[in-house]
Structure 1
Amino acid sequence: MGNRVFVVGVGMTKFEKPGAREWDYPDMARESGTKALQDAGVDYAEVQQAYVGYVYGESTSGQRAVYELGLTGIPIVNVNNNCSTGSTALYLAAQAIRGGLADCTLALGFEKMQKGSLGSTYDDREQPMMRHLLATAELQEFAMPPAPYMFGAAGKEHMERYGTTAEQFAKIGVKNHRHSQHNPYAQFQDEYTLDEVLGSKQIYGPLTKLQCSPTSDGSGAVVLASEDFVERHGLADQAVEIVGQAMVTDLPSTFEDRSVISLVGADMTRTAARSVYDQAGIGPDDVDVIELHDCFSTNELITYEALGLCAEGEGGKLVDAGETTYGGRWVVNPSGGLISKGHPLGATGLAQCSELTWQLRGAADARQVAGAATASGVALQHNIGLGGAVVITAYRPAQR
């Protein structure tokens, strides 16, 4: 694994509906980055490299964003990896420390999005998701827009194959909206009944509007440090160690399985999870709290199985048993997840890291998960971007 890597500072903005707030991406970056640096007690001058993620924006927007924190001449790398952009920036920032190339790095992500469903920016060239879309259309009736179509189609396949019900998917929407009530950073903070989730606008397959993540504006930032940096600055009490991390892109099985569940990343997740569990010396039963990529409720359920929380096809039973909320075996998406916290693509992975850091520090207030803020506490992060990449990270408190 190389050198040890620690999260020493986190910060994020409140996630907002696009256009709801008068701000631009430099404002977002200044807010999240300043919060993360202040949380770490680190001056920007001590940051040696920065990795800045966004999906919708012009080249070198990363520089323009981070210049709000200072002008020190450090390498700044612009990162774009679809919905896994934020965690890809985190992965690269951690890699620099793990490889001994830096003692302190910054991962920052932001997004200023358009209202409504996501569309393409360039229509004069091959769309990166076209191969996935065509493969999905061979298996389930085609519809637009692409993202809810693909994840809705994966849900339909799960229902056909395992008998999973629309109510089981909807219960995930109920859970995540309920969790977000206690998150001041969440775009939505409203609770809904199961009937309200099921009765909201039909999108595709089992998906209704209240089971889909919205477009969002916002930013997140994380300061990472080496073990030596943590010791020199006396940060052990607040530091959270990255004890396992893996990034996996599409595998042959993505297309060879002739399964929409594979096309939306289940095998990438399964492969990355195995690697992270091996690195950290843990299994799913050791984990207390999970932030996973619930862009749609169907993907949360599919991801339960890919992470090994239950056997394949058993995700619906896990939902019915209440095992993924407070009082259950794991608390999944205590932040409200993408469905309710919001999903500014470049910031999502860093917001997940922020939530888990607060959980392991015991600083999550009304969202606090029992057992997370102990010496044996373990947190797991899962972030996926189709086309495709999965980043999974495991965290433990550095010192208690």
Structure 2
Amino acid sequence: MVYTPKKAYVIGVGSTKFDKPRGERDYDALGIEATVKALTDAGITYDAVESATVGYVYGDSTCGQRVLYTIGMTGIPILNVNNNCSTGSSAFVSAVQAVQSGQADCSLALGFERMAPGSLSSPWTDRPSPIQGTYMQVLQIEDEKAYATPEKGPSAGRIFAAAGKEHGERYGSTQEHWAKISAKNHQHSVKNPYSQFRFAPTWQEVLKARPITRELTLPMCSPTSDGGAAAVVASEDFVKKHNLQDRAVEVVGQAVATDSVHLYEDHSRIELAGADMARQAVAKAYKQAGIGPNDVQVIELHDCFAPNELITYEALGLCKTGEAHKLVDAGDNTYGGKWVVNPSGGLESKGHPLGATGLGMIFYLTLQVRGEAGDLQVPNVRNALAHNLGLGGSCVISILRKPAFYRAGTTSAQRAGYDVAREVRRVTQTELNKVRASKFSDYVEPALAERARL
């Protein structure tokens, strides 16, 4: 007997502004805001949610329960996940699979992060890092190359800079191409009110900025960020029962891949940056969706560092191996080109709160597919692709499109009471009360709900 999974649809999305770590809001406030916005967008209360998966990297134990208990105490299963930088997308996969398997008709995916300022670091000093093997092999290859200028900077930046360096050695791309990618993403973010940075340096200014590694400058690197994002996923029966055909965006392709032997056997810095995971995952997702790369119009891509966007163009099949820099030179990664990559500004500019990043991509792409992305809207979106990468490793690809039964109706702006694509507002106690489950406890720190809007 062949198992045919049910179809899954995103019916509600919400996001906080991604901002630099200042400690002004804790993770629970970020998670509440994102969840309330997603439920409001879906037009349902928390009573309808039958399961939830919550993603965060820097957190303790059952942080997901602490957030969601404020919205309802309904006894549903709540899973907490950590999959490095692909944590948010991993939570989304879990919610989608809950619906596809028939375990739930409505499932919530939530991701949030409150991060420390500065470069990423681990709180664990008494055990080996999960990416120790990757980093040590990068150091070995770099040592063999005997570069005149020794590498410096944070380990993650060194890994992705090394991948970009290899691409240049093999195919002729240069640091200038990284700078053009960075400048493009920063230019996109100027129109994104949710973005951490909203300035637009030229690629020449990017090159002259403060160096972080031997080749990477500050604007080429994603910052540490605080933020939260959420998505509500439902079955077709749920969509039609609740008359949500104007909200539903179908998940037509989705795949998760981990590292193959290419990671260590190829002695390649490009492979050490997760390229093969992306190739594996996107091939499966394209097959599920019945499309190829030329059928995609908009992409939210994991540009944790600018050279990773460059090498990922090839991994996603947007161009032939060795020709990613030609795609950059042709302007085929922005408005007016073949694809619009990171209209949100990408991780480099929008921000990178690890647990929220992948769900932030779903937030932006859902608005794109609905035609509700405001100043960021890409024309004639039929298929939208999210690429979320975590070293160590995990790569998640999700492809979204309008279902055949989609119909125009109420918009995100009408449901929220303001233009969510052009303005960021924090939630109020009234808004929380509207989506709260019928079962909740006044004992759950009353001040917590108030903190969600501060």
What TM-score bracket applies, with the shorter chain setting the length? over 0.9
* In 2, Cα distance between equivalents of 1:69 and 1:159: 50
Report the Cα offset of residue 42 of structure 1.
1.0
1:159 aligned partner: 168
Kept after mapping to 2: 8 A contact 1:155/1:205 = no
Report the Cα offset of residue 138 of structure 1.
1.4
Match of 2:21 among 18, 21, 27: 18
Match of 1:397 among 402, 412, 422: 402
Q: Which moved more, 1:199-208 or 1:327-336?
A: 199-208
* In 2, Cα distance between equivalents of 1:389 and 1:298: 18
* In 2, Cα distance between equivalents of 1:65 and 1:135: 40
* In 2, Cα distance between equivalents of 1:69 and 1:140: 50
2:78 aligned partner: 76
Kept after mapping to 2: 8 A contact 1:8/1:238 = yes
Report the Cα offset of residue 253 of structure 1.
1.0
Indicate the SS of the match to 1:290: strand
Kept after mapping to 1: 8 A contact 2:152/2:214 = no
2:262 aligned partner: 253
Kindly indicate whether residue 260 of structure 2 is the aligned counterpart of residue 236 of structure 1.
no
1:130 aligned partner: 132
* In 2, Cα distance between equivalents of 1:206 and 1:146: 13
Q: Deviations over 1:210-246 (max 9, x none)?
A: 0100000000000000010001011112210000000
Kindly indicate whether residue 190 of structure 2 is the aligned counterpart of residue 181 of structure 1.
yes
Q: Deviations over 1:182-234 (max 9, x none)?
A: 11100011111111101011122431110100000000000000010001011
* In 2, Cα distance between equivalents of 1:227 and 1:143: 51
* In 2, Cα distance between equivalents of 1:113 and 1:100: 35
- RMSD over equivalenced CA pairs, Å: 1.0
1:337 aligned partner: 346
Kept after mapping to 2: 8 A contact 1:169/1:206 = no
Kindly indicate whether residue 210 of structure 2 is the aligned counterpart of residue 201 of structure 1.
yes
1:248-397 matches, cutoff 5 A:
248-372=257-381, 377-397=382-402
Amino acid of the structure 2 residue aligned with 1:384: L
* In 1, Cα distance between equivalents of 2:172 and 2:34: 43
Kindly indicate whether residue 18 of structure 2 is the aligned counterpart of residue 9 of structure 1.
no
Report the Cα offset of residue 71 of structure 1.
1.2
Kept after mapping to 1: 8 A contact 2:166/2:270 = yes
TM-score of the pair, normalised by structure 2: 0.86
Unaligned runs of 5+ in 2: 144-150, 408-454
Indicate the SS of the match to 1:224: strand
* In 2, Cα distance between equivalents of 1:65 and 1:305: 39
Unaligned runs of 5+ in 1: none
Amino acid of the structure 2 residue aligned with 1:12: S
* In 2, Cα distance between equivalents of 1:53 and 1:204: 29
1:67 aligned partner: 69
Indicate the SS of the match to 2:357: helix
Report the Cα offset of residue 143 of structure 1.
3.8
Kept after mapping to 1: 8 A contact 2:152/2:212 = no
* In 1, Cα distance between equivalents of 2:267 and 2:100: 37
Report the Cα offset of residue 248 of structure 1.
0.4
Kindly indicate whether residue 31 of structure 2 is the aligned counterpart of residue 29 of structure 1.
yes
* In 1, Cα distance between equivalents of 2:21 and 2:175: 29
Q: Deviations over 1:51-105 (max 9, x none)?
A: 0000001111111122222111111000100000000000011011111110000
* In 1, Cα distance between equivalents of 2:5 and 2:255: 14
Kept after mapping to 2: 8 A contact 1:5/1:98 = yes
* In 2, Cα distance between equivalents of 1:193 and 1:264: 26
Indicate the SS of the match to 2:253: strand
TM-score of the pair, normalised by structure 1: 0.97
Kept after mapping to 2: 8 A contact 1:48/1:75 = yes
Q: Which moved more, 1:80-89 or 1:390-399?
A: 390-399
Kept after mapping to 2: 8 A contact 1:170/1:211 = yes
Q: Percent identity?
A: 57
Amino acid of the structure 2 residue aligned with 1:386: L
Runs of 4+ residues deviating >3 angstroms = 141-144
* In 2, Cα distance between equivalents of 1:213 and 1:231: 40
Indicate the SS of the match to 1:32: helix
Indicate the SS of the match to 1:221: strand
* In 2, Cα distance between equivalents of 1:127 and 1:169: 28
Indicate the SS of the match to 2:257: strand
Aligned length: 395
